[in-house]
Amino acid sequence: MVKVLIVEDDPDIRELTSLYLRKKGFDVFTAANGYSALTIVNDNLPEIILLDILLPGMEGYELCKKIRNITNVPILFLSCKREACDKIKGFEVGADDYITKPFDLAELEARIKVHLRRSPNVSNPKGKIFTCEHLEINLDSCDVIVDGKVISLYKKELQLLILLVENPNQVFSAEQLYNQIWGIDSLGDLKTVMVHISNLRRKIEKDPTKPKFIRTVRGFGYKFTTPIKK
């Protein structure tokens, strides 16, 4: 049974969601606040987490970052906050999806299954090492090193970077990248790709406003290029 953790302070939403998922065969854990959620994550290692933002004591954004220090399992925000800035912040702290309340339980189940179909680890049979200027990427261990230091990337950021690196100079549209990484049957938003590209540039580029590696091809999409030595 797949273990699902629901972190929600509204008892009605928590109970209704957990009851539905249990009927669908999931092993459900629940928490009403961030501190209880962290205990459950450490003790039970859930395989997917449904996380509210407006929680007592510890906001969902902060909790998401703490969970990311423990595990890389999919995290889906379930929130009444609908502004684009709220969603972007959710992806920036490590969420894999963002669903606004009220939500349809069948759609929630579908999104859970989509994320569970994604491997929690990036598979890479090629076992190569990419090195250029200040950037090194071990495609076997999935370590990304900038200026000699290993940097932390979220799961989707790492998958996106490796896809681009393994296909140098190939232009991918935002839709193609979304379908490759999140899945053609996923129910998210193409803006997710833009957010992750922006985050990657901030982490691996010397100047994210003038990227050398992840280039934008106007009207088409993105490509990974090796800077030309002058």
DSSP track, 31-59: ESSHHHHHHHHHHH--SEEEE-SS-SSS-
**pLDDT of the residue at 70:** 85
Reported as a single tens digit per residue, the pLDDT across 103-123 is 999 999 988 988 887 644 333
pLDDT band per the 50, 70, 90 thresholds, residue 184: low
Torsion sign, CA atoms 150, 152, 153, 158: positive
- Return the structure tokens found at 96: 């894999």
Predicted confidence (pLDDT) per residue in 149-160, tens digit: 889 898 889 999
What is the pTM (predicted TM-score) of this model?
0.58
Bridge partners, residue 143, by sequence: 138
Domain 3-117: which topology? Rossmann fold (3.40.50)
Asked whether the beta carbons of 160 and 137 are under 8 A apart, the reply is: no
Residues 6+ apart with CB under 8 A from 63: 7, 34, 37, 38, 51, 55
| 160/196 Cα distance (integer angstroms) | 8
DSSP result, 203-226: HH-SSTTS-SSEEEETTTEEEE-P
> Which residues are 215's β-sheet partners?
223
Please compute the mean of the pLDDT values over residues 160-183 and round it to a whole number: 89
Comparing C-alpha atoms, which of 19, 21, 22, 18 is closest to residue 31?
A: 18
Sheet containing strand 135-138, edge to edge, reads: 129-132, 135-138, 143-146, 149-150
CATH number listed for the domain at residues 129-224:
1.10.10.10
pLDDT at 185: 57
Per-residue 3-state assignment (H helix, E strand, C coil) for 136-179? EEECCCCEEEECCEECCCCHHHHHHHHHHHCCCCCCECHHHHHH
Edge-first strand order for the sheet with 3-7 is 27-31, 3-7, 48-51, 75-79, 97-100
Report the chain's mean pLDDT, rounded to a whole number. Answer: 87
CB atoms within 10 A of CB 156: 25
Tokens of 84: 């684009």
Q: Domain coordinates of the chain in residue numbers?
A: 3-117, 129-224
